[in-house]
Structure 1
C-alpha cells in the first residue's frame, strides 16, 4: 500500500477508479497500485465485492456521485464501456477532478472537442489512456524513426491482428454505438501513427464484418496519406497467420517486427509487475533491420526491443497532476484520434478518400 504520510515526500495523488471490468482489472488498477506517486483511494463497483477483495486498501463505493463527492480523490479514472466515456468524463471535469479516460476517448468527435474545451475552462488535467505508447515495440520504432536509421521513410505499416473466429457475447462484439474493432483496437495504432508523423493529408478506410454472425465490425484497413509517406493501419479477428506488427521501409533499409508487446499477456496471467525484468521481450521476438549499404547486398541486424512499462503512463500522469501541466497524452491528442475515426467511418460509408480539411 502507498504510504502518504512519509515525511519529506509529497503525498501521493488520491485516485478513484470507475468500473471493475476487464480494462480496470487488467490494465488500470495493477498499474495504479504499483506507482508510489499514486494512492488507490476508491473503486466504483455497482454490484459484488470483488474489488474490495482484490484491493482492500481502497474504499468500495456503489455510485459515481459518491466517488466524485469524495474530497480525498484528486484523479478519476474512467474504465467503463465506450458509450459512457463522454458523460462520465464531463461529470468528472465539472466536479473539478483530474480525469483519465480509457480509449476510445469518446464515440463522437464533437464529444471529444467538448471535453477538451471543458478541461481548458476548468484548468483540470484530462488525458486518454493510450498505454500502447508504452509498448516496447513502439518505443523501438519511435527510436528508429527519430534517429533516421532507415533513411527517408516512404512506408509505415502497423497491424493489430488476432485469431478469434467465434463471436463472443460481450459488449465490444455486439451491435451498438462505439462497439467493434475500429473503436477497440483502432485508437492504439492510430494514436501511434499520429504521434510519429502528425496530422495526415487524407484518410481512406474500409471497414468489414468478416466472421460469420458478426454483429459489428471485426476488421478494418486505414490509409493515411502524407506528402512523402504512405501509412497503412489494420486489424482483424481472423488472422491465423499474422502480419508483421510493424513494417517500415525507407531509403536505407527496412524494419520488420512480428509479435506483440509481452505486458498484456503477463497481466492476463496475473503477474502484476512482479518481475524484475518486466516488459523485457525475448531475443527471438526482436525485430530485424534489413539494410542495403552497398549495391544489392543486404545486411540483417536484430534490434533489441526496448523495455515497455505501462506504469510509466501513470507515473507521467501523477507528475503532471503535481506540476499542474499536461500529461503526455493531451486532450488534443484524443481529439485528433477521434477525427481519424470519424473520417474513416465517412470514407467507408462514401467509398472514397477524404481530405483532412
Structure 2
C-alpha cells in the first residue's frame, strides 16, 4: 500500500480542514473517467443498469468526456457533473468519504438544476457506507461498488491498468473497500439510536386513538392493540398497532386476518431480514392466525389480492408476498407492504410531525385496501373460515 503513488500524494494534496480527502478522490475519479475509455464505459453502463432497475431514465454516457468537478450552483458545489455527448442529459454527483451530507444538500442541487440546467438530470450519491444514503438521491452507491466495477475492466494497456490499481488502492487506503466491523459514522449517534425504539413506540401510542380508516370495516371496530414486552418497546421485533378481528376469548390473537401498521426493527422473528439490509422499515402487514394457514395457497381472493396490490401502492412503497418461500413462519405474515424507515420519516423532525406522518401514510394504505373489492372479499372469506374452524 505504501508503494502507491496516489496514496502517498494524497497525504499532501488533501487535509480534512482545508481540502477534504473526498475532493482529492473526486478529482482522481473524474480524471480516470475522462482518460480511460474502458473505465468510463463500465461505470456508465453500471449507472444505466442501476437506473433501469429503478425505472430511471439514464442516457448513455460512455462516449462522453464532458466531466467537470466543483461546478458552482449559486454558491453550492456538487462534486462532479457528467454530461452526455448530446448535452441533453446530466448526472450530478455528490461524493462523501467519512462525512454526512449538509442539510438539504441534495435538494439544493436539484433546485438549481431545475432552474438553470434546462435538461433532464439525476442525482447520484457515492459514500463510504450505506448509512450515509440520506436525502433520497436518485441513485445511491458506495465506493466499494465503484472499485468493483473498475476491477472487472480487462481492456487497456499496462499504464491504464496501473492507474486503475492506483485508484482502487487510494479507496482502500481510506477504508472504503474493506469496511471496519465498527462503522465510525455510527458512533456519535450511539446514544440517540438507543432511544429510537421508544420514540417509535410513542408515535404509535399518540395515534392509537385516532379515527383509523380500517375501523369502518365490519369486525375491525375495536381499538388497535399495541404490543410490547416489559422493559422493551417491541414484541417479535416489531413496534406498532394491530387491527384485528379479535375474539372475546383471546384479545391478542384471532387474526382472521389482522392488520399491523408500524415498524419492523428486527427481522429475525418474522424472517424478513431480506427486506432490511441497511435499516429498519415501516410496514403494513397482513397477519393470519394458524388455523387459516392451510387455506392461503388455494385461497382465490388472496391470490387476487396479491395480483392487484402493486397497482394500488402509493409511490415509494414496495410489496413482498412471503408464502412463496414455503416456510411455516411466513404464513403468519404472508403479505407485507413496506418502505425504508428513513424514507418514511422523510423531513419530519418533531414528534408531532412524525406522528402525523405515521397516521397519514398508514391511513392512506388502509384506505387503498378498503377501496379494493378483492381485499374486502378476502377478509370476509377468512372470517368465515375462522368461524368454521
User: Is the shorter-chain TM-score for this pair beyond 0.5, marking a shared fold?
Assistant: no
User: Over alpha carbons, which structure has the higher Rg?
Assistant: 2
Greater fraction strand? 1
TM-score, normalising length: structure 2? 0.28
Select the structure with the greater relative contact order (CA < 8 A; seq sep ≥ 6): 1
Greater fraction helix? 2
TM-score, normalising length: structure 1? 0.30
